[in-house]
Structure 1
Amino acid sequence: MQDSSIDQVIRDFVSKGIAAHRIHSLDERYAINHLLGLLEIDVYDVQKIPSIPLPNLLDSLDRMVGYAVEKHLITDVPEEIEIMEAQIMELITPLPSEVNKRFWMHYEEAPMRATDEFYRLSQDNDYIKTRKIARNKHFSFDSKYGKLEITINLSKPEKTRQQMEAARQSESGNYPICALCMENEGYRGRADAAARSNHRIVRLPLFGENWGFQYSPYSYYNEHCIILSEEHVPMHVNEGTIANLLEIVTIFPHYFIGSNAGLPIVGGSILSHEHYQGGRHSFPMEAARVLRTLTLGGFPEVEAEILYWPLSVIRLRSNNRNEVAAAACAIMEEWQQYSDPQVEILAESSGGLHNAVTLIARRVKEAYELDVVLRNNRTTESFPDGIFHPHPDVQHIKKENIGLIEVLGLAILPPRLETELSEVADYLLGKTAVVASYHREWAEELKQQGPFEAESIMEMIHEAVGEKFLRVIEDAGVYKQTPEGQAAFDRFLSTFEK
């Protein structure tokens, strides 16, 4: 005899979907049959009435997935669970054509209305993993540059550079080719490709090319979106990139949008597919103090500022976006071929190019603002991971590439730290603790600041982590905030000043 409890779960899920306007009332029987098919149920109690009050959609989702595991329809492994979850939540996800139709209909009312509705759908259908994201740990650090944001990412494991390189080399012949390809939309998933049955992409034309607009399933900040090329082509940052970024903030004036640099080490996590990241979030770098202003020769309409920030940032601003684009292109092209051996900056060595830029665009009322961040990925025997990469003494906290998000002042730290920092805390309190080998020197340094109180120990450790993250992004800066570093910066900038 069929277990009636699962009938109730199915009834409640569909009723909640109808109440939330995610399932049309005319689709009620279709929705029930869809779930019965997924769960391989042949008998259903049609007399079931909805529970009062209706349970949360995600609670019902959990119960259906639990049923699937219990009945051995799937095994209790993350990949199979995520495939089943996505297939169930596909039921409350409109077809891509309908999502696009609604998005642009709402856009006619207001750009923010369109993104609000799309973001809400992406949360409601569990494409954005809101419950996993809620596990992340957040704190801030008051640095000499302003407040920095720190996140210990517990929702999605960070990949090492070696893993990313291995993934890049193994892409040939796979489908979808990579995690950003449009072929992921509606893809069932497998062990090495994420479940995307409930994934939707809004089509976004940019200067005659087809691009896609989607949200990140593991949002690192508010409305963390990704804009990706329809074609699987490698990241390249050029004049077209600058034009695209300024066009996107014209289309979505309430969002910032940025591009990682296009070279390894300084280029963030995915360089194999052309994409940008954006969202509705004010990052620490936006509030950075202005060190001085520049007058750029040939660009009288553009205000230019040098920021007091760990990385080397030139901020451009004008109501004339074409002038902003032209000024940014001039800086980028000059930087790409610029060398200053006094401060370890070489544009090229052994046939490899080293200079690149990270770009961040936003609107400030009617003005266009574009931050050009100078990067260099050169390695040496002393610094095999990169001269302008986190140095060995801070890699116990952060050794991954410093991409767009960290440049802006938000640390995405690896999940291992949640347990490891607790061990360090126990050690400092004199308890039995197994401190990871790479933390021991740091733990000994901290111990010299004791004694410590249990009530405040984690606050102290978070402060120490903030100090390390500050060093991480200072290491990534090509021109340090020292007299020597700023003099070298001035040598580069003198090319553009009148």
Structure 2
Amino acid sequence: MEKNLTKKLCGFIDRLIELNIENHLIEEMDAIYIRNRVLALFKEDYYEVSEKVETNQYETLDALLEIALEKELIEEHMAAKDQFISHLMDLFLDKPSGVNRKFFALYKDDIKAATDYFYELSQLSTYIKVRQLAKNKQFNVDSPYGEIQITINLSKPEKDPKQIALERLAPSSNYPTCLLCQENEGYEGTIKHPDRANHRMIRLELNNKKWLMQYSPYLYYNEHCIILSDTHTPMQITASTFNNLLDFTTQFPHYFIGSNADLPIVGGSILSHEHYQGGRHTFPMDEATTLFEFTLPKYKSIQGKVVNWPLSTIELVGESTEELAKCSDEILKLWRAYSDPICDILAYTEDTPHNTITPICKREGSKYVMRLVLRNNRTTDEHPLGIFHPHQDVQHIKKENIGLIEVMGLAILPGRLLTELEEVKKYVRGEVADVAENHMLWADGLKATYNEEMDIEQYIKQALGDKFVRVLEDAGVYKLNEEGIAGFKRFIETFGNLTE
């Protein structure tokens, strides 16, 4: 290796070690050991003291990545670069057993200190893609239901043509079984499967079963965590689900937790592995008002209400986790079998089930709040993607499943919209523009109601938010009109039939 390049490498290795001592990932005593392990990663057996460099963590990693490319240690495509950085940062991390020991030592005295430690570790290790996440565009807009949160997701980089070509040639593998399985912890990564060398999970016990907690690499909100079963079993909403959610909020009272529904169309993107999502964030649903209240004959200690929210949401509040779990399960069973043709709700088509729920749980002091969002995935010729799914006229904004995060009022919209909306803005202002065909009808409507006194940025943001509200309204099984509210009340009346 050229001497100048060696000196450059040594300078950036020293800087990375210095930064990670400052970040408390390693101690001074570890410096020489880590230096030698990093030198080995670069296939270099020589070290010399170099001039001090003043770069931040990401600049330092970028410089080391460029040296790895120059030395032809890795190929020039995104997957190889990501794998190299993960491998490099893994050298600064404790093994899972050590991370768990520290987490639970902190947990004994301060639950929040434990999650703060693990959250910071996941960011400093670059497992959470902090730099990429900064690219996301986030803003709030007004709606009839309160403020709605919008994120245009720009954090996931597009694959380059070389990687796409290599993926096509790469053999398939069933290890790790899926993107969530605990087999991912420490996995080097392949051209087809993301790098996880710097990945750590916290071992939990919920409802007398083993679970694991991690943070999402691409956070959609503050402390966005994933709680996954230690076995690869399909998503399902059962009596155990409610006990799991309540147990988690007992152990982590500062976090909410929720589950995607367990049926296609209304479920999340990964239905093959049972998992939940949680974190510390106030969603628009949390600020929603009450549509009407109701009583539960069998569960007098539980307060019941229907939330004034576009997706049909029942809220149960009480202090007894046992009663809340039982009540939630009984409502689930009633809903699974419930049909109301007046509102287009059919529980089954022959033997195919359509009804399920999206459950969400959080703490408010000594009380637990369980929200049951009613879902139905039936399709028709008129709505082949789902009757209670974004309809055709809003799919230019959001066509994908409406999962847990969207249910709570946070829109995760595709990155393509950023450039597409710029063309819509030009068109609305009467400038030459290349508006995507699927946005044209919408753009014409916006142009017709726009005047030059309006703030074009806010005008387009609000219009985008209005479309997302329509997405949510389409997904609601009971519409917030006279007929829909009457239908919702008919279902609530069946609660008087809860078995003793």
TM-score range, shorter chain: over 0.9
Supply the distance in 1 between the matched residues of 2:324 and 2:172 (Cα, whole angstroms): 38
Once the two structures are TM-superposed, the CA of residue 28 in structure 1 deviates from its matched residue by 1.3
1:56 matches 2:59:
no
Matched length: 485
SS at match of 1:398: coil
1:17 to 7, 10, 20: 20
- Match of 2:165? none
Conservation of the 8 A alpha-carbon contact between 1:86 and 1:127: yes
SS at match of 1:413: strand
Task: Trace 1:188-203 onto structure 2 (pairs within 5 A).
Answer: 188-203=188-203
1:369-413 CA distances to partner (integer Å, 9 max, x unpaired)? Answer: 100000000011100000000001000000110000001000000
1:110-146 CA distances to partner (integer Å, 9 max, x unpaired)? Answer: 1111000000000111100011111100111110111
- Match of 1:110? 110
Counterpart residue type for residue 368 of structure 1? Y
SS at match of 1:384: coil
1:254-289 CA distances to partner (integer Å, 9 max, x unpaired)? Answer: 000001110011111110100000000011101111
Conservation of the 8 A alpha-carbon contact between 1:23 and 1:91: no
1:70 matches 2:70:
yes
Structure-2 change in CA distance of 1:255 and 1:158 (3 Å) = farther
- Match of 1:163? none
- Match of 1:494? 493
Structure-2 change in CA distance of 1:158 and 1:412 (3 Å) = farther
Task: Trace 1:59-208 onto structure 2 (pairs within 5 A).
Answer: 59-156=59-156, 174-208=174-208
Once the two structures are TM-superposed, the CA of residue 21 in structure 1 deviates from its matched residue by 1.8
- Match of 1:234? 234
Once the two structures are TM-superposed, the CA of residue 172 in structure 1 deviates from its matched residue by 8.8
1:207-258 CA distances to partner (integer Å, 9 max, x unpaired)? Answer: 3321101000000000000000010110001000000000000000000000
- Match of 1:388? 388
Supply the distance in 2 between the matched residues of 1:191 and 1:240 (Cα, whole angstroms): 37
Once the two structures are TM-superposed, the CA of residue 157 in structure 1 deviates from its matched residue by 7.0
Q: Percent identity?
A: 49
State the superposition RMSD in angstroms.
1.9
Q: Structure 2: 5+ residue runs without aligned partners?
A: 160-170
Supply the distance in 2 between the matched residues of 1:431 and 1:69 (Cα, whole angstroms): 44
TM-score calculated relative to the size of structure 2: 0.94
Supply the distance in 1 between the matched residues of 2:350 and 2:195 (Cα, whole angstroms): 42
Counterpart residue type for residue 223 of structure 1? E
Once the two structures are TM-superposed, the CA of residue 7 in structure 1 deviates from its matched residue by 1.4
Conservation of the 8 A alpha-carbon contact between 1:149 and 1:284: yes
Supply the distance in 2 between the matched residues of 1:19 and 1:306 (Cα, whole angstroms): 50
Conservation of the 8 A alpha-carbon contact between 1:158 and 1:414: no
- Match of 1:468? 467
Supply the distance in 2 between the matched residues of 1:430 and 1:437 (Cα, whole angstroms): 17
TM-score calculated relative to the size of structure 1: 0.94
1:423-448 CA distances to partner (integer Å, 9 max, x unpaired)? Answer: 11122223332111101111111111
- Match of 2:37? 34
Structure-2 change in CA distance of 1:314 and 1:157 (3 Å) = farther
Supply the distance in 2 between the matched residues of 1:393 and 1:297 (Cα, whole angstroms): 42
SS at match of 1:253: coil
Supply the distance in 2 between the matched residues of 1:21 and 1:254 (Cα, whole angstroms): 25
Counterpart residue type for residue 69 of structure 2? V
SS at match of 2:142: strand
Supply the distance in 2 between the matched residues of 1:265 and 1:456 (Cα, whole angstroms): 37
Supply the distance in 2 between the matched residues of 1:496 and 1:369 (Cα, whole angstroms): 18
Once the two structures are TM-superposed, the CA of residue 36 in structure 1 deviates from its matched residue by 1.3
Counterpart residue type for residue 123 of structure 2? Q
Supply the distance in 2 between the matched residues of 1:172 and 1:31 (Cα, whole angstroms): 34
Counterpart residue type for residue 34 of structure 1? R
- Match of 1:44? 47
Structure-2 change in CA distance of 1:316 and 1:158 (3 Å) = farther
Conservation of the 8 A alpha-carbon contact between 1:479 and 1:486: yes
Conservation of the 8 A alpha-carbon contact between 2:228 and 2:274: yes
Task: Trace 1:168-317 onto structure 2 (pairs within 5 A).
Answer: 174-317=174-317
Task: Trace 1:379-458 onto structure 2 (pairs within 5 A).
Answer: 379-452=379-452, 456-458=455-457
1:170-225 CA distances to partner (integer Å, 9 max, x unpaired)? Answer: x9951111110000000000111110110000000123321101000000000000
- Match of 2:167? none
Structure-2 change in CA distance of 1:172 and 1:310 (3 Å) = farther
1:308-341 CA distances to partner (integer Å, 9 max, x unpaired)? Answer: 1001111000111111111111110100010111
Task: Trace 1:341-360 onto structure 2 (pairs within 5 A).
Answer: 341-360=341-360
Once the two structures are TM-superposed, the CA of residue 50 in structure 1 deviates from its matched residue by 4.2
Counterpart residue type for residue 286 of structure 2? E
Supply the distance in 2 between the matched residues of 1:39 and 1:425 (Cα, whole angstroms): 49
Conservation of the 8 A alpha-carbon contact between 1:157 and 1:414: no
1:7 matches 2:6:
no
Once the two structures are TM-superposed, the CA of residue 34 in structure 1 deviates from its matched residue by 1.6
1:76-121 CA distances to partner (integer Å, 9 max, x unpaired)? Answer: 3111111011011112221101000000000001111100000000
SS at match of 1:40: coil
- Match of 2:166? none
Supply the distance in 2 between the matched residues of 1:120 and 1:203 (Cα, whole angstroms): 17
Counterpart residue type for residue 493 of structure 1? I
Counterpart residue type for residue 75 of structure 1? E
SS at match of 2:495: coil
Supply the distance in 2 between the matched residues of 1:172 and 1:244 (Cα, whole angstroms): 34
SS at match of 2:412: strand
Supply the distance in 1 between the matched residues of 2:72 and 2:251 (Cα, whole angstroms): 48
Once the two structures are TM-superposed, the CA of residue 158 in structure 1 deviates from its matched residue by 11
Structure-2 change in CA distance of 1:158 and 1:16 (3 Å) = closer
Conservation of the 8 A alpha-carbon contact between 2:89 and 2:126: yes
Once the two structures are TM-superposed, the CA of residue 355 in structure 1 deviates from its matched residue by 0.2
Supply the distance in 1 between the matched residues of 2:121 and 2:230 (Cα, whole angstroms): 22
Q: Structure 1: 5+ residue runs without aligned partners?
A: 160-170
Supply the distance in 2 between the matched residues of 1:494 and 1:172 (Cα, whole angstroms): 52
Structure-2 change in CA distance of 1:142 and 1:327 (3 Å) = same
